[in-house]
Chain A
Amino acid sequence: MTSVIRIAAVSKRFGPSTAVDDVTLDIRENEFLALLGASGCGKTTLLRLIAGLEQPDSGAIFIGGDNMTGTPPYARPVNMMFQSYALFPHMTVADNVAFGLKQDGISGAALTARVKEALEGVELETLGTRKPDQLSGGQRQRVALARCLAKRPKVLLLDEPMAALDKHLRERTQLELMALRARLGITFVVVTHDQSEAMAMADRVAVMEEGRILQVAPPRELYERPANARVARFFGDINLWDAAAAPRRPHPAGIVAIRPERIHMSRTPGSDTVCEGTVADVAYLGTASTCFVTTTTGLTVRVLVRSDEGAPPFTPGERVYLTWPASAMMALDP
């Protein structure tokens, strides 16, 4: 696969703090890449570097094979949807969408057709004459999306596209974005702090922390084979133990990890019991419960028990026996 964007050893500092620290990343053609990280990890800065709204202190950015380092934003074949949507408040919806096309010298019937097409793509064709402040949050987001897509960019950059939407709308928009990507065949780069959003939508996820990329991989690989403990912690729940203190010690040093759903818990000991303990707390989640078990060696183990695994449910204070296959354990760097 060819890479549509190549970020080569890019760094960006703001005063004393380093927002992006020596990042190298290839974004492939037609892929849906999520930049995932806590706020302040540099993911938005990386997006702005690709868009040309910031210039790197060092390193280079290639878009479609051309070195675009130092190229101003208006000359880059990428478009960005801002977290605030940044709609032009003094223009109608149709004028907002037409703005980018006019900059390319498109006018007359061709302009009208492209605006109509873009608005139809987001099902807003009837609201073209409204002003942004007459729209709901979800509608505003779709105008921002249409405004970008009307330009037919090689790459669409989305900064926290769901942040301003409520949960219900968020799931629908996720599906719409994925359908849009499948239909248009363009590359999506999405910045998000929500790991479930990243896992649901992305082909690959780049996990960022303190300006560095910790790991880039498909969601399943990130979950099952995290590169280190920090990545593992970011994706779902996990038990992380110092290797020296871990039951069934597979490795002499470092950190061992096991996902709570890989541990089996029962009230009776078996030949394969790894350790025993007492249920300290139970958090009921609906389809499953998370049980916190304190082992006889003093370790706290998080165990996911499916609700249909057999009655009655575990209660705090019960004596339980834990087992798991040795293959479920992962050795991780800190």
Chain B
Amino acid sequence: MKPQRFSPAGVALILGLAFLYLPLAVVIGYSFNASKLVTVWTGFSTRWYGELLADSQLMAAARNSLVVALVSATLAVVLGTAAGIVFARFGKFRGRTALAGMIAAPLVLPDVIAGISLLLLFVAAEQTFAWMPGRGLFTVIIAHAGFTMAYVAVIVQARLKGMEREIEEAAADLGARPGAVFLHITLPMLKPALIAGWLLAFVLSLDDLVIASFVAGPQSTTLPMVVFSSIRLGVSPKINALATLIIVGTLVLLAAAAWIGRGALKMKTPRL
């Protein structure tokens, strides 16, 4: 059959892809603009990449953001997995509803509320225990892990619910103690969920402006905070260059995740 060149579905697909990717393409294109004005194209240049690397404030913020995202995503995977297992495997227990509500709260709570409540908590903690004076990266990490673990918990819980309970029971029946069952059976089968959860947590943390603005200390400005404040002074094409680097980095990360997870994704639930 001859493929239809202008099928309605094909047109819809192209429009959809354009809607999603055109803004990214524009940013990447303008990052090579020679002009100082963000929206006026004058010629090809890589000068903004050079200026970006020379901008110590932006580079420090980028480093802060990466540290926060890496640590908080890892923390979120550990905590979120624990929460997901509790919800999927522990059945009914006292306080389950309260815990479920608290785990799910960050999914629906406005960032402004989360940010201000965390700020009040950290200030109160500082006044009471002289803990974390002035706040810093660590407070941002705690805040980010706290809200991204909710997403990890949801993903892990869904994966566990789709997993046959009998597989873990079979491992126990074959002589594996609970610790060995978790390490050799549950965890490897959760691998795709853990990778997906970590990536989601990483991206959410990297992206967060509101909560970080509340809880970050003076020396721990994150990238979104710098970018956002610089907009008020007029956007520099450096930001375009930075955005391009982040897009490329994200693509590399996603490709790596797909490559690592290729075995795990092929894993099907056994047919009956």
Contact = CB atoms under 8 A, between A and B. Distances in A.
Contact of A132 (B175, B176, B270): B270
A51 B172 CA distance: 10
A88 B177 contact: no
B271 interface: yes
A275 interface: no
A135 to B, nearest CB: 9
- Closest 7 A/B residue pairs (Cβ): A100-B174, A103-B175, A86-B170, A86-B166, A73-B172, A90-B188, A82-B166
B interface: dominant SS: helix
B172 A53 contact: yes
B179 to A, nearest CB: 11
B231 interface: no
A84 B164 contact: yes
A132 B264 CA distance: 13
B3 to A, nearest CB: 33
B268 A89 contact: yes
A79 interface: yes
A140 interface: yes
Interface string A66-109: 00000011100011101111111110000000011001100000
A89 B269 contact: yes
A74 B177 contact: yes
Given A84-B272, A103-B180, A90 B267 contact: yes
Contacts of B174: 74, 79, 99-100, 103, 147-148, 151
A133 B267 contact: yes
Given A90-B191, A164-B272, 5 more contacts: A73-B169, A74-B172, A74-B177, A89-B167, A133-B266
24 contacts: A51-B173, A53-B172, A53-B173, A72-B172, A72-B177, A73-B173, A74-B175, A74-B176, A78-B173, A80-B170, A80-B173, A82-B166, A82-B170, A88-B171, A89-B268, A90-B191, A90-B263, A90-B264, A99-B176, A103-B177, A132-B270, A133-B266, A133-B267, A164-B272
B189 interface: yes
B270 A89 contact: yes
A121 interface: no
B171 A99 contact: yes
A87 B267 contact: no
Nearest to B268: A133
Contact of B169 (A82, A87, A89, A137): A82
B270 A53 contact: no
Interface of A: 51-53, 72-74, 78-80, 82-90, 99-100, 103-104, 132-133, 137, 140, 147-148, 151, 164
B184 interface: yes
B176 A90 contact: no
A164 B171 CA distance: 21
B185 interface: yes
A21 B271 CA distance: 33
Nearest to A53: B169
Contacts of A88: 167, 170-171, 185
Interface in B228-272: 263-264, 266-272
B167 A86 contact: yes
A140 B270 contact: yes
Interface string B181-200: 00011001101000000000
A151 B175 CA distance: 9
A140 B264 CA distance: 20
Nearest to B169: A53
